[in-house]
């Protein structure tokens, strides 16, 4: 895979306080699910592991998948430095690749808006879920493009309509869909105002 913006940004990715706060909030939301140390999980779009490494102690194993080799290199260093034994980094782009494993939990944080074909990737993620297992997706609410106006590279969607995304998951055979706001990102607006960008967490179960 060729170098992308995330490869270039990986070295400084963890330096932004707001990014850490967002990851903490998403991880806290996912942690409210019935996690246990027998679970085999995958995070798609793991980045440097800001979300996944917080959840790993509550899981049996975690495949940390991302399409950025640079992000995964930072994650590997963390795993080595912290002596983590249940997290396995994996280079994966579900636009091009298939992944023939099944999991009890799949989660993704702030990744969907970077995917060109969200529906196709979601279908592949659902195919990797065991019957009765859980999918958890965190991303921005639908907005007017202001959130990424200063850094639009790689942004394919300006957030998501919660109702439409829930219907998409229903069409893929998922049930018990629940959505909550886990964080609100605040950024300066025009004329000294402040803009708020809610971040949702949507969870669903695969039919048993």
Distance CA 88, CA 79 (A): 9
Report pLDDT for 131: 97
Contacts of 155 (CB under 8 A, 6+ apart): 113, 114, 148
At 168 the three-state DSSP class reads helix
Torsions phi, psi for 105 (to 5 deg): -150, 130
Token pair of 116, please? 């060109």
CA 105 to chain CA mean position, Å: 12
Per-residue pLDDT at 130: 97
pLDDT, block means (10 residues), the chain with 208 residues: 70 87 98 98 97 98 96 96 98 94 98 96 97 98 87 86 98 97 88 88 96
Query: pTM for the full model?
Result: 0.93
Pairing of strands 174-188, 194-206: antiparallel
What CATH number labels 5-206? 3.40.50.150
**pLDDT at 80 (0 to 100):** 98
Boundaries of every domain in the chain: 5-206
pLDDT of res. 1? 44
Report pLDDT for 3. 58
């Amino acid at each position: 895979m060729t170098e992308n913006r995330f490869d270039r940004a990986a070295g400084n990715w963890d330096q932004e306080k707001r990014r850490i706060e967002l990851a903490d909030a998403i991880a806290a939301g996912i942690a409210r699910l019935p996690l246990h140390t027998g679970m085999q999980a995958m995070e798609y779009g793991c980045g440097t592991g800001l979300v996944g490494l917080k959840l790993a102690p509550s899981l049996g194993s975690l495949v940390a998948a991302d399409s950025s080799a640079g992000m995964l290199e930072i994650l590997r260093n963390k795993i080595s430095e912290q002596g983590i034994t249940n997290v396995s980094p994996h280079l994966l782009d579900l636009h091009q690749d298939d992944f023939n494993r099944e999991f009890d939990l799949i989660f993704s944080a702030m990744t969907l808006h970077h995917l060109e074909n969200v529906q196709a990737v979601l279908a592949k993620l659902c195919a990797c879920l065991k019957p009765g297992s859980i999918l958890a997706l965190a991303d921005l609410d639908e907005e007017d493009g202001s959130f990424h106006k200063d850094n639009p590279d790689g942004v394919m969607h300006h957030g998501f309509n919660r109702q439409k995304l829930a219907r998409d998951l229903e069409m893929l055979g998922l049930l018990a869909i629940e959505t909550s706001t886990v964080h609100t990102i605040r950024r300066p607006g025009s004329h000294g105002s402040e803009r708020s960008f809610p971040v949702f967490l949507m969870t669903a179960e695969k039919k048993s």
